[in-house]
Amino acid sequence: MNELIDLLLRASAWLAVGVLVLAVLRPVLLALGGAALAYRSWWLLPLLLLAPQLPMPAPVLEVVTLPVLTLGVLPGPVGATGDAPGWPLVCVLLWALGVAVVAWRSTRAQRGFQQALGRLTARADGSWQASGDPGLPALVGLWQPRIVVGPDFDTRFTSDEQHMVLQHERNHRRHGDHWANGVLLVLRCLFWFHPLLPWAARRFLRDQELACDARTIAPHPALRRLYATALLKAQLAHLAAPMACHWRSQPLLKERIAMLKQNERKTLPWVSGQVLLVGMCVSLGAVAWASQGGGGGVTTISAEPFATAQADAARAALDRPVQVDRMTPPTYPKSAVALRQTGVVTLQVDVTAQGTVQDVRVVSATNPGVFDAESMAAARRWTYQPALKNGTPVAASVRIPITFAMDESETHTENGA
């Protein structure tokens, strides 16, 4: 639970950094490279989300083999109370509920849009004609995207305008804009709580349309007026589907027409914009990758038994104390590695007469809250042999100190204390 929450918080922080950087630099990118460069700059967001998940060459995690030895026993009845679910579980459940709600609403909107299309008929130009018009023309679909036009497409647009409209939608398909919309939908589901994501999604879709307009009109600069006329003929009065690239875009109609009036850009500013974009992505991606930690040195994890195990068992009138068959090491938290935090967590594990774990509690911790969750999770995975009294398995408790250290010298210091 804690790892998932930590992952979401770190990803949200980097998502916010990326959105703010793009908001500040967007006017510069537009001036240097136009709408196409501004649209490509949105690659920064998935880069910042993926970079911290890439493995780092350091630090090297050296795990000390955990000894399978007799451990100290604390005699007494085993309590039946387990760990109560805390706030991490509540947070994860709320997040999952939000993801489900957003996904359901998006699926419902997409399904309603496709049902409103009605019957689709193949056209000679490679597009499909719908019997209804919930916001067409548009590129519809993800795996097999199709260009769908409205029932009045032939009467509303001239033949030249039809060619420009279809070329616009083909450019969407050729450059994978439908896949980009799919990634955006996934991000909107996973980060439904992020306050900056709605603005980023609207700005992304606007840049997508502006970039597609620029790609479509670039080979035909003399047809700008014709292209603008086609835009004016189609006004979007319907809600857009989450998985469609719409030709009609009334909210940014003025911006799209203004873009058509721009002259051809010179080579030098265009190259400068590309260099700026690549440098921004590489530098911020490197910072995000390095942020996952790694302060140098070697981390070690060790668990040591109490030296008085047999004496404790004798005082408790036990023939044999609880024994541990297999102890897989806990995970050294990334945040602790980054801050070079060390500590000792002493656990009390209640083991039933059948050798199963009934409860795990933290008795003491030199650095409270840092290693507790990982230590308890590891103890629950270990296998145990129950204590014996008069030759019969009985319930008992075992106390296990676990030492987290950054190098072997620190481990020896902790163990010798």
Instruction: Answer left, alpha or beta for residue 54, where phi above 0 means left and psi between -120 and 50 means alpha.
Output: beta
As a whole-number percent, the residues of the chain with pLDDT over 90 amount to 33
The most confident of 68-77, 134-143, 198-207, 256-265, by mean pLDDT: 198-207
How confident is the model at residue 249, as a pLDDT?
55
How confident is the model at residue 146, as a pLDDT?
94
339 and 295 in contact (C-beta within 8 Å)? Answer: yes
How confident is the model at residue 69, as a pLDDT?
39
Rounded Cα–Cα distance for residues 180 and 20 (Å): 20
As a whole-number percent, the residues of the chain with pLDDT over 70 amount to 77
Looking up tokens 């440098």, which residue turns up? 279
The most confident of 71-85, 220-234, 249-263, by mean pLDDT: 220-234
pLDDT: is 254 or 171 the higher one? 171
How confident is the model at residue 191, as a pLDDT?
96
Q: Residue 201 above 60 pLDDT?
A: yes
Tens of pLDDT, residue by residue over 380-402, are: 988 888 888 888 898 888 888 88
* Across 17-26, 156-165, 182-191, 316-325, least confident range: 316-325
* Across 37-41, 76-80, 117-121, least confident range: 76-80
What is the fold, at CATH topology level, of the domain defined by 300-416?
TolA/TonB C-terminal domain (3.30.2420)
Going by pLDDT thresholds of 50, 70 and 90, the confidence category of residue 184 is very high
* C-beta atoms surrounding 127 within 10 Å: 23
Rounded Cα–Cα distance for residues 270 and 277 (Å): 11
* Across 194-198, 200-204, 398-402, least confident range: 398-402
Burial of residue 65, with CB atoms counted within 10 A of its CB: 0-12 exposed, 13-18 middle, 19 or more buried: exposed
How confident is the model at residue 129, as a pLDDT?
95
How confident is the model at residue 384, as a pLDDT?
84
Q: Residue 162 above 50 pLDDT?
A: yes
User: What average pLDDT does range 327-345 have in this prediction?
Assistant: 82
Tens of pLDDT, residue by residue over 75-111, are: 333 333 334 456 778 889 999 999 999 999 999 998 9
365 and 371 in contact (C-beta within 8 Å)? Answer: yes
Tens of pLDDT, residue by residue over 303-315, are: 555 555 566 667 7
Tens of pLDDT, residue by residue over 357-376, are: 999 999 889 889 888 998 89
Domain chopping of the chain, boundaries: 2-57+87-290, 300-416
The whole-model pTM stands at 0.64
